[in-house]
Structure 1
Amino acid sequence: MEKIPNRREIIDRKSLMAELATLSQEFKPDSFEFRNALLKKLKEVYASGREVVKGRFFATNKGRPSMHAEAFLVDQIIRAIYDVATEMVYPLNNPTPEEKLSLMAVGGYGRGELAPQSDVDLLFLFPYKQTSWSEQIIEYCLYMLWDLGLKVGHSTRNPDECVRLAKKDITIQTALLEARYLWGDQELANNMRSKFHNDILEAQGSNRAFIDAKLQERDDRHSRFGNSRYVVEPNMKEGKGGLRDIQTLFWIAKFVYRTTEVSELVAKGVFTDSERRRFTKASNFLRTVRCHLHYLTNRPEERLTFDVQAELAHRLGYKDHAGTRGVERFMKHYFLVAKDVGDLTRIFCANLEAQQQKKSRIPIPTFGLLKRKLDGFQVDAGRLNINSEDDFKEDPLKFLGLFHLAQKKDLDVHPNALRIIRRQLKDVNKNLRNDPEANRLFLEMLTSKKDPETTLRRLSEAGVLGKFIPDFGRVVAQMQHDMYHVYTVDEHTIRAIGILTQIEEGHLEEEHPLSHRLLPKVLSRTVLYVAVLLHDIAKGRGGDHSVLGAEVAEKLCPRLGLSPSETETVAWLVRYHLLMSNTAFKRDLSDPKTIEDFAQIVQSPDRLMLLLILTVVDIRAVGPNVWNGWKGQLLRELYHAAESALTGGHISEGRAARARHHQEDLRDELKDWPTEKIDAHLEKFYESYWVSNNLNTHKAHAELIKKAEESGDKLVIHAESDPFRSITEVTVYTADHPGLFARIAAAMSLSGANIVDAKIHTTTDGMALDTFFIQDSEGDVYDQGGRMSKLREVIEATLSGEIRTHKELDKREQSNIPNRTKVFIAQPSVLVNNEASNIHTVIEVRGRDRVGLLANVTRALFGLSLTISSAHISTFGERVVDVFYVKDMFGLKITNKVKIKNIEDKIMEVLDTPEEQKKKARSALKKKSLKV
């Protein structure tokens, strides 16, 4: 343990023991009174010591000394308790050889480090078998520590058991590797360490076995925690690039080199001095963040969740800058540190492997083949390496050539080459960036059919990609502080390239049949791959990243070797990469104006194909649960409608003519119906119904209405699920009455169904035919586990008045928002648009998602005497965008400015959270009282 200044300020054990000796004279040591007095005193000393440690930490902002001080405090408390137990409570006058006990600290505590809320791991060591005396001591110590509030993990063993179990269990072996004598019989502790050293550390083949086990353990752990260091809520202890990875290096270093001092690893040639500094800096940063996290949450929290990130950034001194918030700067620093940990791990393992290979006369199979030359490089242990440190200086093209050849020959890149690249990154300069051959190599890697995702990730991890394309370097580790984006911008982009490759190769054909079919038809694969690389490249600059990204593309594409027409297409795709998703998810695709406006911007079938594929990979790369079949269906629907418009289709055909065509088609389908029944059915619906639904829907509705009329049912609820579209379509047929849509929406919210789309139709004879497209909370069909029957019951109870939905929803509104997401502020807004549709006013509502929001908004629209024709719901993490196509009570658009202002004000009131509504009410009351 490192030297701790002014230790007695934290705890003075000598003085403490004197006070405890006095207590033992006042009370019998084995009495309940003595135990209570002892516990009270220890609590005072422990609390006082923790306050000193905490104060020093906040004064210096250094985690490492704080963790050592915390361990020192606990050491002294444990020693005091042990001394009380052995000398005052259960003293032995003539101990036998078996009546010995040694306390050892293991695990992280064994290293002499304790984060504020970490567990204390203890090993109680006895010579051969436990005696009644040792059981009493152990029990006394443990109960006292638990009563103090310490989280104690413990084991009781003799030295032989320790070694025997360590041989079988790598976790026990690792814990004992860091075992530190704490108190009690020191000879017993030395005996255990000697046995561990001889039987474990010095055993033949133990190094290889331990290394393999720890690296496999690390890989398994990475898989459990997302296998990426760039998730936006990382686990800083167990996640990739976190503290556990640093500890793994320490364990291997101690096992193989018998040291945990990084300076000694420099002397042994494992790290350079520069790498040692990076390692120490990363380690200290992570320790400091962990201490802040424990103090902030007051629990052993290891995950940097959204609700703590902003406060941690504030405590660590990260301030908002133009275009970047302090919390995003802090998280970027965290991700760069995690990247450093990954780099240093590779360097460490490569050197370890090389040294192990030298010790073995026969090459170990896992180390691969012997060295051989290949196109100016060498293949070393199955990985591509350079010939000397001067290679990159003599030929800077090798910065890219190394990765190009590795991709071409399906080889990994040797950590030694990556290490030298790191040191010479300054040579990836303007001259190399403007070299046509360098740009050709890069473009070939990007558009290769041989796993461009892995190659780009290697280039990025090595720092070459960010240097070769400085605009990409600006988004490396760039976090977006919201619930929608799961990865940093650079990781999202590289994953998008991987998804594009998978679609092209047919691995995702079932999920994306249209994109897979279209990819071979695009005029330029290069345009598509470059557009995917650049679509988010201007994020974090403070402006519209689509517009700024298009400007980047216009400058960069010619450098990469793209023609003027290809450059123009890439820039257009970057500029409009959100157009298709915004149109598909927020507009009524049955409205001709929607398709006209979209097609007018797209203008060409090739751009339409490129835009569809770019949109698909962009959404898929956001996170694991963002894409679903419903989004795919909407995108396909928009694609086919726009394709028809761009290739001579008649989307602007008159509504009346389209309605007549649909009616005639349905008449042909209902040939087995009596003519008068067909005529009566066709007369039930207004023009809007016929133009906004397809033939299959018209036929299904006709059968449903016929069945309802024959049976006399006043309420019919029909549900049908489509797993491919990830949607459950619920049709409600009942007598129309004011506010019906709002009440059904409320019933669905109460049942946990998410409405993603809805169409509302009223018949000429006073009936309502409303169709809702719903999903569960995971974005899947809603009908699993009998949920649909429960939903029917809630809708029926709501429409009959048995359930007062708005009261139930008000109770649930706030309880449904997880605490970690409350930190996000989604600025509410209401946009009233009379240009998006020829016959409807389109109201776009944006705000913080919460239970019952849709029901409350639709109730407000009902209160404003507006009729909803269709609703389109999109959720982006904590934000929701609800779009309503509405008319006034006379079936007309809302054009009066006063009415529009009234709509905006009323809906804005609904968007306020209950807390905000209370604040405004208090403010209004205060103003009123001041006037009085």
Structure 2
Amino acid sequence: MACGETERSGSTTRRPSMNSREERTEAADGRLRSLLADGLKQADLPPTGVAVVAVGGYGRGELSAASDLDVMLVHDNRLPDVGAIAEALWYPLWDDGVALDHSVRTVEETRDAADQDLRTAMSVLDARHVAGDPSLTIRLRTTLLADWRRAAPRRLPELEASCRERAARVGELSSLLEPDLKEAHGGLRDGVVLRALVATWLVELPHATLARLRGELLDVRDALHVVSARRPTDKLLAELQPDVASALGLPDRETLLRRVYQAGRTLAHTSDIAWRRITRARAVKTNRRNRSPVRPGPLLTPVATGVAISDGEVVLTPDARIGQDAQLPLRAADAAAQRGLLLNPFTADRLSREFLPLPNPWPDEARRLFSALLGTGADLLPVWETLDQSGLIEPLLPEWAHVRCRPQYSPAHRHTVDRHLLETCVQASALVRRVARPDLLLVAALLHDLGKGHDGDHSDVGAAQIRQIATRWGFPPRDVATLSLLVRHHLLLSETATRRDLDDPATIKRVAIAVGDADTLDLLAALTEADCRAIGSVAWTPWRASLLARLVERVRSRLERGAVPAPQPLDAAQRLLAARVAQSRELDVVVEAGGDGSRVTVAAPDRVGLLATVAGVLALGRLGVRSASVDTIDDAGISVWAVTGDRPDPAVLRERITTALAGGLDLAKRLGSVDDAYAKPGDAIPPRVRLVPGASAHATVVEIHAKDRPGLFYRLCAVLAAHDCSVRSAHVSTWATEAVDVFYLQPLTEPDQVAVIRALEAALAAG
């Protein structure tokens, strides 16, 4: 049962000889069979009513060079001296120096032990017959499995809590520099848990894939135990990694770590999916048992073109144009992350098999969807992992393959390069209301370390890469230049704040020249904070934060902030339409193709609440407003909207707007149910409402930053209408998931300004 020794000669390490797990298990089985036969013969007993049963890792056939032998002697309580049989088994093994974890129990005693202790229950689920009476082992296994399934509603919460505690305490296998192959999240222990979940019959999992991944990690553990002279350690220490890699025939420690990380990522992702589904299955069973009055929702709830929710997961609708609609994977991913739901893995696999590449450059809506996905906070992580596991990330970002599971050997970093980039996006999502362009912040967060692992300075390499990527993704040249600057200088503020004299004007001037303007400074400051927070508490301390804030404020004083966006002037056709409506006093709607969606122009006799009504009707039609401009000409209000979604019928829009203006359509009530029932509740980032003094000599200008959602613009306009505010013009834009709305209002007195600001804040807080 012993493995070959590691042989050393000077500084040269020979590849150790490793017996296979199958060989070790077979040797142990043979020894126990022989010992039981001898014991029964000496006691003059038949081989009935007693069985040697392997449990735990031995039961699964996973013996390593340093594994204990987990053995149960099971009997039917009719043997005259079961103790003598046990001694005939245990003492020779102890004499052989075998590490033994043993017990002597009846079937009922085993059931009681499993009922009282979760670890015992998990271990005996893997019971395997070794010697003696096979019928006794069969009865043991069937009884224990039936008990486990019956007790699942009671035992699974305890098991899930223990898994979460272990993950928080040990960390993730896929991001540790010295990973614990057994206890880390995504390690061998989670593989055992997944087997137990399958045994409940509440979830189905890919058995072949799980067996392969566990086998890969077990191979690494076998090599680890050999090179560590059979010490019972599961931690892949840095000093042992080169020898373990050599033992496995791998070229270096980085190749070893990337193999371990990839296996751990897949196991962890499978585990997370399994627990989500287990939780939902338990909730459904509880409702049925309690005869809950809550009626189940529809089988499919559409949430976007070709995308729906089914049983708590995002799937495709039957009419989805898979293989024809290039933006379908992005819509599905965004719908899942925005709502904190699981992107169904089978759906992702199908999208990958029938993937239709996006055009080069990407359409505006594809770019918006991708940026919105990056801004979904922690809910980005499971959705991105599903996309990556199914092969959907590389067609969107081929450069991702270079950083996937790439180790970072700096002790300050907690994560691999790819996971650090995603964690930076998570941190950046909380800072989007500090910047004028949330989409640029999120894209820079994803790509700022993409140059790591290449020759040369990773900031310079990344800046060149992002120019190519951003151009491919359809960003205009000015945005490409900004993104490249952010990546090239993503360490500038941090290094300057901690290594330079902030009282020296030359220091401030150098940073100001590099950054260029205040809006870019805000982006770089937010990226710096997100990057440091993603690294961990070592990189983001109160001291570092105060230095960075001091530097940013001094640089900002040298720079001019970009102007508040003002509406684009109306073109000749729109002015003609406004003039015609002003004369006829009848509402008119024009719909044209525009970009990735439609351009809707609405002209009507001007009145308070007109803008809110139009915004509400568009939201009811499930049209996503990406930008809008509003103006008043000759007593006619004219608004131009860039919307996404199915192209609307102008006659239908005209009828609905007319009905709503006449009071025949309760927009507030109807909008309350549009998508809100399926959206992720709450918004951890407070909205931002501010007056912009000096932005206009003839208007009060209000700027609002908030999370975009159905009916948002309607609610804002309704508040302004309720306060009798005349909207002279407005500028609406959506970046990623963030709406930035600027209203030019007829001049307000100072008390009215305060009242309007408070009312807008209250409306946003109420959702």
Q: 1:549 to 1:336 in 2, by over 3 A?
A: same
1:116 aligns with 2:65: yes
Q: Which residue type is aligned with residue 303 of structure 1?
A: K
What is the rounded CA distance, in whole Å, between the counterparts of 1:638 and 1:103 in structure 2?
71
Residue equivalent to 2:220: 289
Q: 1:332 to 1:566 in 2, by over 3 A?
A: same
What is the rounded CA distance, in whole Å, between the counterparts of 1:110 and 1:459 in structure 2?
35
Given candidates 350, 353, 359, the residue that maps to 1:420 is 350
Residue equivalent to 1:235: 180
1:518-565 Cα deviation digits (max 9, x unpaired): x53x33222222221211112112221111111122222234343322
Q: CA deviation at 1:138?
A: 3.4
**Contact map agreement 1:61 1:288 (CA 8 A) in 2:** no
Instruction: Give the SS at the match of 1:122.
Output: strand
Given candidates 316, 329, 335, the residue that maps to 1:399 is 329
Q: Which residue type is aligned with residue 225 of structure 1?
A: V
Residue equivalent to 1:575: 488
Instruction: Give the SS at the match of 2:20.
Output: helix
1:377 aligns with 2:326: no
1:335 aligns with 2:261: yes
1:317 aligns with 2:257: no
Residue equivalent to 2:459: 546
**Contact map agreement 1:368 1:381 (CA 8 A) in 2:** no
Q: CA deviation at 1:486?
A: 1.5
What is the rounded CA distance, in whole Å, between the counterparts of 2:307 and 2:525 in structure 1?
41
Instruction: Give the SS at the match of 1:156.
Output: strand
Given candidates 79, 83, 100, the residue that maps to 1:135 is 83
1:566 aligns with 2:492: no
Q: 1:398 to 1:336 in 2, by over 3 A?
A: same
Residue equivalent to 1:511: none
Structure number with greater Rg is: 1
Per mean C-alpha deviation after superposition, the further-off stretch among 355-364 and 527-536 is 355-364
Q: 1:86 to 1:587 in 2, by over 3 A?
A: farther
Map 1:809-820 to 2 at 5 A.
Answer: none
Q: Which residue type is aligned with residue 190 of structure 2?
A: D
What is the rounded CA distance, in whole Å, between the counterparts of 1:334 and 1:207 in structure 2?
31
TM-score (norm 2): 0.62
1:300 aligns with 2:245: no
**Contact map agreement 2:172 2:185 (CA 8 A) in 1:** yes
Consecutive unaligned residues in structure 1, runs of 5 or more: 1-45, 258-264, 320-325, 505-518, 649-932
Instruction: Give the SS at the match of 2:535.
Output: coil
Q: 1:443 to 1:128 in 2, by over 3 A?
A: same
**Contact map agreement 2:431 2:526 (CA 8 A) in 1:** no
Map 1:464-483 to 2 at 5 A.
Answer: 464-483=392-411
1:59-83 Cα deviation digits (max 9, x unpaired): 99998x8111112222333445555
Q: 1:174 to 1:222 in 2, by over 3 A?
A: same
What is the rounded CA distance, in whole Å, between the counterparts of 1:103 and 1:462 in structure 2?
43
Q: CA deviation at 1:591?
A: 5.0
What is the rounded CA distance, in whole Å, between the counterparts of 2:476 and 2:358 in structure 1?
21
Q: 1:421 to 1:145 in 2, by over 3 A?
A: farther
Residue equivalent to 1:39: none
Consecutive unaligned residues in structure 2, runs of 5 or more: 8-12, 562-767
What is the rounded CA distance, in whole Å, between the counterparts of 1:631 and 1:209 in structure 2?
47
Q: Which residue type is aligned with residue 26 of structure 2?
A: F
Q: Which residue type is aligned with residue 77 of structure 1?
A: R
Q: CA deviation at 1:314?
A: 3.2
Q: CA deviation at 1:116?
A: 1.2
Map 1:151-166 to 2 at 5 A.
Answer: 151-166=99-114
1:586 aligns with 2:499: yes
What is the rounded CA distance, in whole Å, between the counterparts of 1:429 and 1:143 in structure 2?
67
What is the rounded CA distance, in whole Å, between the counterparts of 2:21 and 2:295 in structure 1?
38
Residue equivalent to 1:77: 31
Given candidates 531, 534, 549, the residue that maps to 2:447 is 534
**Contact map agreement 2:148 2:200 (CA 8 A) in 1:** no
Map 1:434-453 to 2 at 5 A.
Answer: 434-447=362-375
Q: CA deviation at 1:575?
A: 0.4
Q: CA deviation at 1:117?
A: 0.8
Q: CA deviation at 1:343?
A: 5.2
Q: 1:367 to 1:256 in 2, by over 3 A?
A: farther
Instruction: Give the SS at the match of 2:309.
Output: strand
What is the rounded CA distance, in whole Å, between the counterparts of 1:539 and 1:181 in structure 2?
51
What is the rounded CA distance, in whole Å, between the counterparts of 2:496 and 2:144 in structure 1?
69
**Contact map agreement 2:447 2:462 (CA 8 A) in 1:** yes
What is the rounded CA distance, in whole Å, between the counterparts of 1:355 and 1:642 in structure 2?
55
Instruction: Give the SS at the match of 2:72.
Output: strand
Map 1:905-920 to 2 at 5 A.
Answer: none
The alignment-based identity, stated in percent, is: 26
RMSD of the TM alignment (CA)? Answer: 4.3
Q: CA deviation at 1:346?
A: 6.7
Q: CA deviation at 1:462?
A: 4.5
Map 1:51-66 to 2 at 5 A.
Answer: 51=4, 66=20
1:644-697 Cα deviation digits (max 9, x unpaired): 55589xxxxxxxxxxxxxxxxxxxxxxxxxxxxxxxxxxxxxxxxxxxxxxxxx
1:816-849 Cα deviation digits (max 9, x unpaired): xxxxxxxxxxxxxxxxxxxxxxxxxxxxxxxxxx
Q: 1:591 to 1:432 in 2, by over 3 A?
A: closer
What is the rounded CA distance, in whole Å, between the counterparts of 1:367 and 1:337 in structure 2?
40
Q: CA deviation at 1:465?
A: 3.0
Instruction: Give the SS at the match of 2:58.
Output: helix
Instruction: Give the SS at the match of 2:359.
Output: helix
1:249 aligns with 2:217: no
Q: 1:359 to 1:436 in 2, by over 3 A?
A: same
Q: 1:120 to 1:600 in 2, by over 3 A?
A: same
